[in-house]
Amino acid sequence: MRTLRTFCIGVTLRGVRASSALMTISLPTREKPAKADFPRIEKDPFEVVELIKSDEHALTNIFLESSAWAPWVWKGSDLAAPLRALFIAESLGLLHQDESQRTKDVPITDITAAVNRWLMDRGQNPVAETTIYANLKTAAMYVHTALGLSIVPIKKTMTVRLTDQKQNTANLEKYFAVAEKQLIKILDELKVAKSHNWETQHILDRVASDTGLRIGPAN
């Protein structure tokens, strides 16, 4: 049987909990999400191209050789899921180029089947194609950050491919066509600012920092 003192203490604590639940709490925030600090792998582009021609697992092996990438490459003693998906995609011809230097679309269904065989052989549960697609998206981000190459998982067709020269050229033409009108407007505004002697360098520096592109009149 509770005493009056015990009852009063219980009421007081409940009141404190209720007051805490109604408190307005201000937590730290930031303007932009924190960027993952993925390291660049400093390899000569020519060397990377030659490795891709001669080694079907060139990309995975480059990561395996980089001690800086070990936290993302390994999960315990096994390859982490993104690198596992990349390795199997390479096994299925991701890096192969035909006589016209075109790469191939690798079906994510085939990659998923191979991953699931590996998992079930170890008594682990199989995963869905959407999981492998997400793993490949992560692997593509790793490859682009570390080496500047482009691997493209395509959700519409559920395939993945290494961007070749022809596709890269088509992409550049497409994106420049979209951006051309806006770039002309930007250059017109820069000319207006220059005519008035208005300062715009801080804007151009910020754009260069954010995008890696330096914008200015051609002459």
b/e sequence 109-148, b meaning 16+ C-beta within 10 Å:
ebbbebbbeeeeeeeeeebebeebbbbbbbbbebbebbbe
Residue 76 vs residue 7, higher pLDDT:
76
CB 180 within 8 A of CB 215: no
pLDDT at residue 34 in the model: 61
Residue 87, CB-side half-sphere exposure with 13 Å CA sphere: 17
Predicted pLDDT of residue 16: 52
**Is residue 189 predicted with pLDDT exceeding 80?**
yes
Q: What are phi and psi of 108, to 5 degrees?
A: -65, -25
- C-alpha span between 88 and 107 (Å, rounded): 11
Helices marked H in the chain — which ranges? Answer: 4-22, 45-54, 58-64, 70-73, 81-91, 108-121, 129-147, 165-196, 201-211
Cα–Cα distance for residue pair 43/37, rounded to 1 Å: 18
| CA–CA dist 209, 37 (Å, integer) | 17
Spatial contact of 83 and 73, defined as CB atoms under 8 Å apart: yes
| Contact yes or no for 153/136 (Cβ under 8 A) | yes
Span 62-99, pLDDT tens digits: 999 999 999 999 999 999 999 999 999 999 999 999 98
Q: For residue 2, what pLDDT is reported?
A: 52
pLDDT given at position 10: 53
16 HSE (CA, 13 A, CB side): 6
Instruction: Count the neighbouring beta carbons within 10 Å of the beta carbon of residue 161.
Output: 20
Task: Give the pLDDT band (50/70/90) at residue 5.
Answer: low
The domain ranges of the chain are 45-163, 169-211
pLDDT of 219 reads 62
| pLDDT score for 27 | 79
* pLDDT, average across residues 3-16: 52
Read off the pLDDT of residues 16-72 as tens digits, 9 standing for 90 and up.
555 555 677 777 877 776 666 899 999 998 999 999 999 999 999 999 999 999 999
